[in-house]
Amino acid sequence: MKKIYFIAISELIILFVSSCGGNSGSTSTSSSSGGQSTVSGAAVYNRSCITCHQGTGAGIPGAFPPLAKSDFLADKEKTISQVIKGYQGELVVNGVKYNNVMPPQQLNDEEIAAVLTYVNTSFGNSGAAITADEVKAVRSKLR
Ligand code: HEC
């Protein structure tokens, strides 16, 4: 009985690992092909941002600032830099002070463009799309 459990569990692990591998593989091929982006901003959000900023983009009061109706997003360059470099220290969103840490996000230009376009057009936001070229330009200034 124990053995059967073990086999079932290890099979689940293998399934999980191989499905993850498949996903990241397709992401990198699409991003290296240039031209039209097929990266899903929603998928990047659900993978990289949702734990802190939440599914509704509302964040968590006192800890994680909202992306929903955030006035911070009006500054494209600051927003892109926030995701590339992360941020530590005082930051004000919609008049509310936060003083926490956001780690730098290990995402490529296309993924950042896709996720920020998703953020800008979700959660009741009506901001502009962000392109991979804009992300690239900010990244080169930060180096
Ligand atoms: C580990 C938690 C965490 C993750 C993951 C995270 N953030 Fe943040 N984010 C924060 C915190 C904390 C701040 C505020 C930083 C401070 O107080 O100095 C912040 C601030 C921001 C801001 C500026 C303030 C605002 O609310 O408009 C933006 C934009 C942002 N994050 C976008 C993202 C995006 C996009 C992702 C995913 C690619 C992401 N964050 C992932 C914790 C996180």
Q: Is 135 a pocket residue for ligand 1 (Cβ < 6 Å)?
A: no
Non-local CB neighbours of 79 within 8 Å, separated by 6+ positions: 72, 73, 116, 130
The answer to whether 118 and 130 have CB atoms below 8 angstroms apart is: no
Closest atom, ligand 1, to C-alpha of 111: 38
Confidence band for 4, pLDDT divided at 50, 70 and 90: low
pLDDT digits (tens, 9 = 90+) for 70-81: 999 999 999 999
Checking if the pLDDT of 137 tops 70, the result is yes
Give the residue among 59, 61, 75, 88 at the shortest CA–CA distance from 116: 75
pLDDT at position 29 is: 40
Protein residue closest via CA to atom 10 of ligand 1: 102
Tokens of 5: 């459990």
Return the best residue to mutate from 73, 82, 99, 123 for the ligand 1 pocket (most ligand atoms within 8 A of CB): 82
Checking if the pLDDT of 30 tops 90, the result is no
Closest atom, ligand 1, to C-alpha of 90: 18
Confidence band for 2, pLDDT divided at 50, 70 and 90: low
CA of 1 to the centre of ligand 1 (A): 46
Average the pLDDT over 103-119 and give the result. Answer: 98
Lowest mean pLDDT among 36-40, 91-95, 125-129: 36-40
Cα 51 from Cα 101, distance rounded (Å): 14
pLDDT digits (tens, 9 = 90+) for 7-16: 454 454 444 4
Look over the chain and give the mean of its residue pLDDT values, rounded to a whole number.
84
